[in-house]
Structure 1
Amino acid sequence: MTPDFSAGSERPRLWAMGISRLRDLFFDIANEYGDRADLRVVPRGFEDAVREIAAAGDARPDVIVAGGSNGAYLKPRVAIPVVLINPTGFDVMHALARARREAASVALVTHGETPDELRRFAAAYGIDVEFASYQSAEDAELCVLDLRDRGIGAVVGPGLVTDLAARAGMEAVFLYSRASVRAAFDTALDVAQATRGEALRRQRLDNLLQHMRDGVVALDSQGKVEAINRRLAAVLGIDAMDAVGRTLLDLAPDIAAAVPDADGDALGSVRGVSYVVHRGPLATNGAAAGTVLTFQESRAVERLDRTLRSTRRTQQFTARYRLDDMIGESASMQRVRSLVQRYAKSTATLLIRGESGTGKEMVAQSLHQLSARRDFAFVAINCGAFPEALLESELFGYEEGAFTGARKGGKAGLIEAAHRGTLFLDEIGEMPLPLQSRLLRVLQEREVVRLGSTEPTRVDIRVIAATHRALTEGIEAGTFRADLYYRLNILNIALPPLRERQADLMPLAVELLLQIAKREPRLRVRVKTAEAAERALGGVAGELSGYGWPGNVRELQNVIERIAVELADEESAGVSALSGDELRLIAPELFETRQADRDDALTLRERSRHIEADEIRAALASCDGDRDAVCKALGISKTTLWRRLNGGGRK
């Protein structure tokens, strides 16, 4: 099939190189290929032809067509495909028949060894012919003179031989026909198309390699460079063009230690820079014929890993509360807001202290929203809500097969999920001792090791912890590590209980009622504004203010929920405010005299001691008064047991 070079593409350049009779035949046929190729007849041979090609530069041909000894001479000396003109059997038979008409004795002279098929052809047809061959122009002249001296009357051969025979007074018949030259031109067009396709493929591959951010080199089976991109060449301090054909280890001896011995990945250093080096096979027709090496800077891998992990956020890892959501204008709350704004500018670990229900997580989320980490994950976990084994896997993650039931492929822990963001550890005082040791390492080294793994993963997190207990008491009792406490308590915020900021109680109650009204259609029509909410709560303001609120804002929210249900009830549609008697029915605890009310003025540490004493008394009751058994069960000494029962402790 004739190659199809599209009209929009440059025509292939063919050079027909020949002298004497072959040159004349080229000129006769060249016009037939004018619309398919840029065909140039170059009347040069041997060394003159080599110089002509070298001088052409970028205008050199895609393919060369030549015959006989000229083509054989050019093939090893030029880096361009050379198509030889091969006479057909018909050419040989026709030329020999013409020669026999001119002389009784005929010789067939060819370049190189006479092909066996020609000898068999002559024998099959009973042709009496002398066979001779030559290697160079000098050989050709000697061969022709020898044939003349032996009485040969006619010579059949290529242009060089026939010219020599004519000068020697012999009959000369040119071997090549128009058909054989056309066949050579058609083959040259096929070769040009294939060569251009290969050049285009190589150019595209080279463009791909050059645009890769990683260093890439392809080696053959002997370790020689087939292709290398500029990025790696620059790292190695070599020229990409000059590197082709040379062994990589000769070009850069110091790279040997960085290259893996087998297919796979390895971490190595090249010129003082750390790289992840991948080695893979360079396959040809399904068989490995070499090696491909890629060099990726380890810092780039870390940056990509951080970006991927930070963008895999889900809704559950998003902070909802902001500083404006913290209601209250009391001096203590203004102090808290001031600390939040100040500490949000820092990346230091923070400890939030406060009773249950005072809004520790709201403060943590507000800090996150004000910090430079606001665009990344806010991951919260309650350390007291999980069994030890489950808490460990949730926090640190695990590899596939780490334990029975482990997810296929493993799972990233919450510490990894918080990468570049904030990790909020609520109720940190409830964390088991073994996990405290692992958490301490995370805080110190900023890396986490999954269960079942030995490889640490770097993490960039800010840790905020919260507790309703006095952690110093846990240190004394041996349930909390002192070194972890000092790691956590770099910055700290103490949240005041609701009973210590009475001025904020009613504004909080009004805001909570408005929030409930937004999601409750029946109440929304009645409580549309802050003024309406104040009126609705006006009849019970005294009762609300007179209560100690041991459950703080969370307990207040529960009571307001009950009030909202009462106000939204269809039977009380005409009621615009709740009375004290109605409040007594739905929230009787506000009117009960309890021990907690008498302990309102106690400090957090004092309340903690009361709770611990109650726990110890309960343990004594369950152990029938056996103090040794209680000390063993609680992990405390007899001295500590006596001090707790008597309300004592470190002052």
Structure 2
Amino acid sequence: MSTPHFDSPQRPRIWAVSISRLRDLFFDIAGEYVETADLRIVAQGFEDAVREIDAAGAGRPDVVIAGGSSGAYLKTRVAVPVVLINPTGFDVMHALARARRDGARVALVTHGDTPDEVRRFTAAYELDVTFASYESAQDAESVVLDLRDRGIDVVVGPGLVTDLAASAGMGAVFLYSRASVRAAFDTALEVAQATRRETLRRQRLDNLLQHLRDGVVALDAQGRVEAMNQRLADVLGLDAAKAAGRPLLELAPDLAGSLPDSDGDSFCTVRGASYVVHRGPLASSGAAAGTVLTFQESRAVEKLDRTLRSRQRVQQFSARYRLDDIVGASASIERVRSLVRRYARSDATVLILGESGTGKEMVAQSMHRLSARRDFAFVAINCGAFPEALLESELFGYEEGAFTGARKGGKAGLIEVAHRGTLFLDEIGEMPLSLQSRLLRVLQEREVVRLGSTEPTRVDIRVVAATHRALTEGIAAGRFRADLYYRLNILSIALPPLRERPTDLLPLAAELLLQAAAREPRLAARLPDAEAARRMLAELAEPLRRYAWPGNVRELQNVIERIAVELADADAGTDTHAATDADAKSILTRDMLRTVAPEIFEPHARAKKTALTLRERSRHVEADEIRAALAAHDGDRDAVCEALGISKTTLWRKLNATQ
């Protein structure tokens, strides 16, 4: 039996449930809520009310209102919020006052324990009231009959109790008032509105999850699925709707051991495909807030990385090194630092001279970071690393249709990209003659013309060039334009080779070892600072200083990397935290150094007592590069000659020029 039913799909659905005289109050105030709620009064109680709520399906209520034992029963058996009607203190006082007028002996019967404040109230006013309570309908009937047998005249209580008392021939005073029922209705409206807002929020969240490209699952604190999007369900071969409430590892046991133990990333394989799994908190606070797992296919990550690299080239052109990164306290290095500071205040073109591996680009980046152009691009290009046609298009850019394969819309060259920043031309001595004249015009006019275009583009750049060759020899041989040389050589910095600053070698080696340790977790505890690294390398100081270092800092870095690998391998079988400097010294011996870098002990590798000329340095660098190419091609001289573009006679001559 259900009456009346004020229907509206726009308003929250509220069911008021009662099988007692409480229904009369429901009917009395129902009209007050016709505009704000879809109100239904249900004349059922206990199990009958549970069945009717469950049978409602999509039309089930947002909130149920009930009183006494019926409300307590529903609260534990239905999946919707239940608001209990609680009598106020005024309700109790008013009901007891009415009962005293109707009979001499009065009993107050409540569902559950009688509130302490009611007992205190009756004691304070010396009211002779018998208290009783019940848990179920059967309890209520027994309590009422017992009170009748004890001579109670009037019973005050909820609707079920007063109905039973009236049937037993006793006086009955209904405990609830219109005010208490109205308060329950107002609370029900607030709960319904909050529930609907939460439902809408969850629907939006679920809709968002379903439209995500990646697989996503939300877990509670016990690892049970709260929500899962269809993409992840398809990956795991699950029914997303049936997954809710079940442990994820029970649904997908293959994931055990592959998921991150804490917030962060890990890799796992699902059905032959690799995924990057990210773990994060479900909420910003609370230890039991839950977890969100995101499954991103590794191929998609790689594709995205390639796309970002191609579309955001300008963001890549930044200087990483600072002046403090140039290690050394020798007079020659201090002079370099002084020149960098002075030249950073100027916009004049700088030519950096030095052998390969002496840190020419590091000096150029340091100068850029100290200059007024620090907030703009630092664009570096190796002029010897590209074929002539490709170097021209990279430097100067091109218009659409300038040549076969030209990008639609054209492309800005690196000179344009460096606008308002610094353009670093490494190995400028390797630039083809045909491009030298075009670069000269850029330096003179500060404008660039793209391939296939006739319109110049103004550029504001600072040019820093570097070379390991003697450009004056190139001028004499006709390989380098004299006018370009004088345009480049306005300000000049000459970098000393490593063999000419022996006092810097050990501090530099220690810094490189510290950097290598930072990339190798097994060495991090053993090398907390540069001082520890210097102590560790002390045994090797003498042979390292005696070596000529034709590859300069770059070669030293290679040797230190080998030493770091040797140290890490030695640590593999020991307790890293228990390692001491004594352990390190026992590992870093001359024999170990001879094993990882035998070239240091070769007779011809000893440092010369006199400084080399720039031409001699160039020969050493060329020979070192040829040896590296031979190693890369497993000693195949024909392959090396083809790769370097030289004849076998030239190869033999350059290898023996430094002997």
* TM-score, structure 2 normalization: 0.52
Letter in 2 for 1:370: T
Residue 108 of structure 1 corresponds to which residue in structure 2? 108
Asked if the contact 2:220–2:288 (Cα under 8 Å) also holds between the matched residues in 1, the reply is no
Q: How does 1:437-586 map to 2 (within 5 A)?
A: 480-481=629-630
Cα gap change, 1:479 to 1:253, in 2 (>3 Å): closer
User: Structure 1 residue 37: deviation in Å?
Assistant: 1.2
Corresponding residue to 1:370 among 401, 404, 408: 404
Deviations 1:114-159 (A, max 9, x none): 2222212211221111111111111111111111111111111111
Residue 595 of structure 1 corresponds to which residue in structure 2? none
Whole-angstrom distance in 2 between the partners of 1:371 and 1:433: 41
Residue 574 of structure 1 corresponds to which residue in structure 2? none
User: Structure 1 residue 172: deviation in Å?
Assistant: 1.0
Whole-angstrom distance in 2 between the partners of 1:249 and 1:156: 55
User: Structure 1 residue 185: deviation in Å?
Assistant: 0.4
Cα gap change, 1:298 to 1:133, in 2 (>3 Å): same
Asked if the contact 1:281–1:288 (Cα under 8 Å) also holds between the matched residues in 2, the reply is no
User: Structure 1 residue 245: deviation in Å?
Assistant: 2.0
Cα gap change, 1:116 to 1:284, in 2 (>3 Å): farther
Whole-angstrom distance in 2 between the partners of 1:96 and 1:104: 11
Say whether 1:178 aligns with 2:178: yes
User: Structure 1 residue 247: deviation in Å?
Assistant: 1.5
Say whether 1:218 aligns with 2:218: yes
Whole-angstrom distance in 2 between the partners of 1:360 and 1:162: 98
Asked if the contact 1:433–1:480 (Cα under 8 Å) also holds between the matched residues in 2, the reply is no
Cα gap change, 1:101 to 1:301, in 2 (>3 Å): same
Say whether 1:188 aligns with 2:188: yes
Could you say what secondary structure the match of 2:151 adopts?
A: coil
User: Structure 1 residue 279: deviation in Å?
Assistant: 1.6
Letter in 2 for 1:297: E
Letter in 1 for 2:305: D
Q: Please identify the structure whose Cα radius of gyration is greater.
A: 1
Deviations 1:7-56 (A, max 9, x none): x9921111111123111111111001111111111111111111111121
Residue 154 of structure 1 corresponds to which residue in structure 2? 154
Whole-angstrom distance in 1 between the partners of 2:386 and 2:275: 45
Letter in 2 for 1:82: V
Could you say what secondary structure the match of 1:308 adopts?
A: helix
User: Structure 1 residue 225: deviation in Å?
Assistant: 1.9
Residue 36 of structure 2 corresponds to which residue in structure 1? 36
Residue 575 of structure 2 corresponds to which residue in structure 1? none
Letter in 2 for 1:147: L
User: Structure 1 residue 196: deviation in Å?
Assistant: 1.3
Asked if the contact 2:113–2:133 (Cα under 8 Å) also holds between the matched residues in 1, the reply is yes
Could you say what secondary structure the match of 1:218 adopts?
A: strand
Letter in 2 for 1:96: L
Could you say what secondary structure the match of 1:283 adopts?
A: coil
Asked if the contact 1:15–1:64 (Cα under 8 Å) also holds between the matched residues in 2, the reply is yes
Q: How does 1:348-387 map to 2 (within 5 A)?
A: 361=391, 370-371=404-405, 384=430, 386=467
Whole-angstrom distance in 1 between the partners of 2:83 and 2:95: 22
Letter in 2 for 1:207: N
Asked if the contact 2:427–2:468 (Cα under 8 Å) also holds between the matched residues in 1, the reply is no
Asked if the contact 2:426–2:467 (Cα under 8 Å) also holds between the matched residues in 1, the reply is no
Residue 55 of structure 2 corresponds to which residue in structure 1? 55
Deviations 1:547-578 (A, max 9, x none): xxxxxxxxxxxxxxxxxxxxxxxxxxxxxxxx
Cα gap change, 1:264 to 1:316, in 2 (>3 Å): closer
Could you say what secondary structure the match of 2:289 adopts?
A: strand
The aligned length equals 398
Whole-angstrom distance in 2 between the partners of 1:370 and 1:108: 99
Residue 421 of structure 2 corresponds to which residue in structure 1? none
Sequence identity percentage: 63
Residue 136 of structure 2 corresponds to which residue in structure 1? 136
Cα gap change, 1:489 to 1:210, in 2 (>3 Å): farther
Cα gap change, 1:605 to 1:102, in 2 (>3 Å): closer
Could you say what secondary structure the match of 2:76 adopts?
A: coil
Letter in 2 for 1:291: T
Asked if the contact 1:155–1:170 (Cα under 8 Å) also holds between the matched residues in 2, the reply is yes
Residue 565 of structure 2 corresponds to which residue in structure 1? none
Whole-angstrom distance in 2 between the partners of 1:98 and 1:359: 107
Whole-angstrom distance in 1 between the partners of 2:413 and 2:640: 18
Please report the RMSD computed on the Cα atoms of aligned residues, expressed in angstroms: 4.6
Deviations 1:238-284 (A, max 9, x none): 22222222211111111122211222111222222111111222335
Whole-angstrom distance in 1 between the partners of 2:551 and 2:403: 30
Could you say what secondary structure the match of 1:20 adopts?
A: coil
User: Structure 1 residue 222: deviation in Å?
Assistant: 1.7
Letter in 2 for 1:186: D
User: Structure 1 residue 360: deviation in Å?
Assistant: 7.8
Say whether 1:164 aligns with 2:161: no
Could you say what secondary structure the match of 1:481 adopts?
A: helix
Residue 238 of structure 1 corresponds to which residue in structure 2? 238
Structure 1 unmatched ranges of 5 or more: 1-7, 318-350, 391-400, 411-430, 439-472, 495-603, 617-630, 637-651
Asked if the contact 1:368–1:378 (Cα under 8 Å) also holds between the matched residues in 2, the reply is no
Asked if the contact 2:108–2:157 (Cα under 8 Å) also holds between the matched residues in 1, the reply is yes
Could you say what secondary structure the match of 2:64 adopts?
A: strand
Residue 254 of structure 2 corresponds to which residue in structure 1? 254
Asked if the contact 1:274–1:298 (Cα under 8 Å) also holds between the matched residues in 2, the reply is yes
Deviations 1:344-403 (A, max 9, x none): xxxxxxx9999xxx8685699999953498888988975856559x9xxxxxxxxxx996
Deviations 1:489-539 (A, max 9, x none): 9999x9xxxxxxxxxxxxxxxxxxxxxxxxxxxxxxxxxxxxxxxxxxxxx
Deviations 1:594-643 (A, max 9, x none): xxxxxxxxxx969x96x998xx9xxxxxxxxxxxxxx76x246xxxxxxx
Asked if the contact 1:110–1:132 (Cα under 8 Å) also holds between the matched residues in 2, the reply is yes
Could you say what secondary structure the match of 2:44 adopts?
A: coil
Could you say what secondary structure the match of 1:107 adopts?
A: strand
Cα gap change, 1:65 to 1:277, in 2 (>3 Å): same
Whole-angstrom distance in 1 between the partners of 2:93 and 2:232: 60
Cα gap change, 1:111 to 1:27, in 2 (>3 Å): same
Deviations 1:325-351 (A, max 9, x none): xxxxxxxxxxxxxxxxxxxxxxxxxx9
Cα gap change, 1:302 to 1:435, in 2 (>3 Å): farther
User: Structure 1 residue 228: deviation in Å?
Assistant: 2.0
Asked if the contact 2:629–2:640 (Cα under 8 Å) also holds between the matched residues in 1, the reply is no
Cα gap change, 1:378 to 1:302, in 2 (>3 Å): farther
Whole-angstrom distance in 2 between the partners of 1:475 and 1:287: 59
Asked if the contact 2:162–2:174 (Cα under 8 Å) also holds between the matched residues in 1, the reply is yes
Could you say what secondary structure the match of 1:169 adopts?
A: coil
User: Structure 1 residue 226: deviation in Å?
Assistant: 2.2
Cα gap change, 1:474 to 1:67, in 2 (>3 Å): same
Could you say what secondary structure the match of 1:109 adopts?
A: strand
Letter in 2 for 1:307: T
Residue 204 of structure 2 corresponds to which residue in structure 1? 204
Cα gap change, 1:263 to 1:372, in 2 (>3 Å): farther
Cα gap change, 1:274 to 1:316, in 2 (>3 Å): closer
Cα gap change, 1:227 to 1:361, in 2 (>3 Å): closer
Cα gap change, 1:104 to 1:268, in 2 (>3 Å): same
Whole-angstrom distance in 2 between the partners of 1:137 and 1:25: 21
Structure 2 unmatched ranges of 5 or more: 1-7, 318-383, 415-424, 431-465, 470-494, 496-509, 520-549, 558-621
Cα gap change, 1:150 to 1:378, in 2 (>3 Å): same
